[in-house]
Amino acid sequence: MDKYIKCKICEGEVKLINKKCNLIQCRNCEFIFCSTIYSQAEFVTVYDELYNKENAVYSNHSIVEYEMLLNNKRINVGFHRSRLLKKHVLNRKCKSVLEIGSGIGLIGCYIRKKNDSIKYTGVEIDKESFDKSQFLKLNTIHADFTAIDKIEESFDVIMLWEVIEHLQDLKLFLELAYEKINNNGKIILSTPNYNKIYNYPKRKENSIFQDKPPIHLNFFTKENITAIFEINKFVKCKATVKKFPYLEIKSKNFYINFFKSFFYHYHGSTIYFEATKA
């Protein structure tokens, strides 16, 4: 397999920080990513197993959420995502939005329900998820993110929800996204927080507490995600880490981490990020 030998964002020198997962970190922008370069066919196989196989890890998205949309039930997108959507999409100013990794169409249906005058476009690599979005009558494209280069129109907002960590050619995505966002338009996203490893002082060596490559390929902190976007000409970058742990009333660690969060000793699991095209 081919490997990255320099930072795929700024071409800075890199150092190995996780041998088991082949993770390297740039000495300049501090970006952390998998050095192995995977093929498109490998990604398609991985996503099919994650979403569509029996007892799939992410079956909640492809089965439970799909049933919810089919039955026209209340759509729950989460507190932090709903805040970003309200601020940047459902603000009476946004006219068009592009979602990368649109899945079965949870966010697309949510936006349509709130304001059906907003032009929504989704891009989804997984065929079964794409088919479900079509059944829900959403404007989606079956492709990887590079398909946005062929879309003629530009957008007020581009969004990715737990997707940017999957994109191997992140530099290309940032360049294409910048071109497709209108002036003063926004990019909004969520992604796992790499620094949550520090919640586990007794962790095993090379533990990352999120999906390993080739599922997750990019690993973000508040600092490096801001640096990455600023290098690629975005401004007004704001990264916020989820303060409190997810509710797990039967878990002892939940109560320990909940207490720690009040004293800023807990590293939240998710980063929520927004940036502007100048």
- Among residues 12, 23, 10, 19, the alpha carbon closest in space to that of 218 is found at 23
pLDDT > 90: percent of the chain = 79
For range 257-262, the mean pLDDT:
86
Residue 63 pLDDT class (50, 70, 90 cuts) = confident
For range 49-60, the mean pLDDT:
77
* Per-residue confidence (pLDDT) for residue 46, from 0 to 100: 84
For range 144-172, the mean pLDDT:
97
Amino acid identity of 210? Q
For range 225-246, the mean pLDDT:
96
pLDDT at residue 184 greater than cutoff 80: yes
For range 217-222, the mean pLDDT:
98
* Per-residue confidence (pLDDT) for residue 35, from 0 to 100: 98
Residue 60 pLDDT class (50, 70, 90 cuts) = confident
Q: What is the pLDDT of residues 4-53, one digit of tens each?
A: 999 999 999 999 999 999 999 999 999 999 999 999 889 888 888 887 87
Please state, rounded to an integer, the average pLDDT across all residues of the chain: 94
For range 185-205, the mean pLDDT:
95
pLDDT at residue 54 greater than cutoff 90: no
Global pTM reads 0.94
For range 194-223, the mean pLDDT:
95
* Per-residue confidence (pLDDT) for residue 44, from 0 to 100: 83
Higher-scoring residue by pLDDT: 21, 72: 21
- 78-277: CATH topology is Rossmann fold (3.40.50)
Higher-scoring residue by pLDDT: 35, 61: 35
Residue 144 φ/ψ, nearest 5 degrees: -90, 180
Instruction: Quote the radius of gyration of the chain (alpha carbons, Å).
Output: 19
pLDDT > 70: percent of the chain = 100
* Per-residue confidence (pLDDT) for residue 27, from 0 to 100: 98
Delimit the domains of the chain by residue range.
78-277
* Per-residue confidence (pLDDT) for residue 151, from 0 to 100: 96
